[in-house]
Structure 1
Amino acid sequence: MGIRVRVKLLVEGRGVETVALVNSGFESSEPDICVPLGLAKRLGLWPPVSFESEEAMTAGGEVPLFRLPARAEVQLLAGGEVKSSSPCSIVANPYIDEALLSDYLIDELGIVPISFRRGLWRHRSDPEGAVRESEEPQYWK
């Protein structure tokens, strides 16, 4: 099932709410959110004026990624409130259909996985026994 959380991605005065997969296998040295092209288009970032291209090794093999120059902020939404926020970098991936949070960004947002299989998590500010359920996936074309 995986853990999916509701986030709001804010870029250059625009904001889009979406559901993102908490992907501990997406290892990064900075707070990255990987977005499908449909979400990048909705944010007005695709096609980009400029970008840095990089290759990434994924479970499906090596794929090209596009690091977009826009600086962004991501807010973690839960229970009708903003639980936390973090600046982030946006990486566009033409081979995915949902937003992915990197391990770095997961930590910055204070997401504490309880069970990936059951889709259970809590926020670091929640009481110790609190358990939150995963959101339904949101796919972008």
Structure 2
Amino acid sequence: MTTWLRIVMRRENNEVITCALANTGFEGLGPDILMPINVAQRLGLNLLGGTEVYAIRTASGVAPIYRFRESVSVRVLVNDRDTPIVRLIPIASESVDYVILSDKALTELGIVIIDASNGIWYFRDELGRVFRTSCTPD
């Protein structure tokens, strides 16, 4: 198992709730959130304007990614507390099937992964007091 976080993403009047992969190996340019094209569209992000296009190497070849100049609001959803809203830079790609949080996005969200293979994590301010488990991706 990997570490998954239930998050809500918002942009203007659009909202998407999903499980996102917490991936410390995704070294973004900043606090980035990588998502499938259809998720970007559900958030009202326009691929034709306001993006920088990059080519990345994937297991199946080279694929374009679209890095937006505007941010989206993101927060982690847990049952026992309110969590801060952070601004992350969306990146959209046809080569991903789910939302992935970059290493810098995890830092902004205050996430610490304790046991990656078992999906156990906590918020930085809960050190030694709380252990949380992963959500199940849809």
User: Do Structure 1 and Structure 2 share a fold, with TM-score over 0.5?
Assistant: yes
| Higher helix content, 1 or 2 | 2
CA distance in 1 between counterparts of 2:59 and 2:117 reads 18
Amino acid paired to 2:103 = D
Cα offset, 1:28, TM superposition:
1.5
Amino acid paired to 1:44 = G
Counterpart of 1:137 in 2: which secondary structure? coil
Q: TM-score, normalised by structure 1?
A: 0.87
CA distance in 1 between counterparts of 2:20 and 2:32 reads 12
Equivalent residues in 2 for 1:70-81 (5 A)?
Answer: 70-79=70-79, 81=81
Q: TM-score, normalised by structure 2?
A: 0.88
- Of all paired residues, the percent bearing the same amino acid is 33
Q: Which runs of 5+ in 1 are unaligned?
A: none
Q: Which residue matches 1:64?
A: 64
Q: Which residue matches 1:6?
A: 6
Cα offset, 1:26, TM superposition:
0.6
Q: What is the total number of aligned residue pairs between the two structures?
A: 138
Q: Which residue matches 1:27?
A: 27
Cα offset, 1:97, TM superposition:
0.9
1:103 aligns with 2:76: no
CA distance in 1 between counterparts of 2:48 and 2:31 reads 20
Note closer, same or farther for the CA distance 1:49–1:7 as it changes in structure 2 (3 Å cut).
same
1:126 aligns with 2:126: yes
Q: Which residue matches 2:113?
A: 113
Instruction: Please list the CA deviations of residues 89-132 of structure 1 after superposition, one character each: whole Å capped at 9, or x if unmatched.
Output: 11001011110000000011011101111111111122513110
Q: Which residue matches 1:43?
A: 43
CA distance in 2 between counterparts of 1:58 and 1:85 reads 31
Q: Which portions of structure 1, spanning 4 or more consecutive aligned residues, are displaced by more than 3 angstroms?
A: 46-50, 57-62
CA distance in 2 between counterparts of 1:38 and 1:2 reads 23
Cα offset, 1:47, TM superposition:
4.7
**Equivalent residues of 1:12, 1:70 under 8 A apart:** no
Amino acid paired to 1:15 = E
CA distance in 2 between counterparts of 1:81 and 1:46 reads 33
Cα offset, 1:46, TM superposition:
4.7
**Equivalent residues of 1:48, 1:68 under 8 A apart:** no
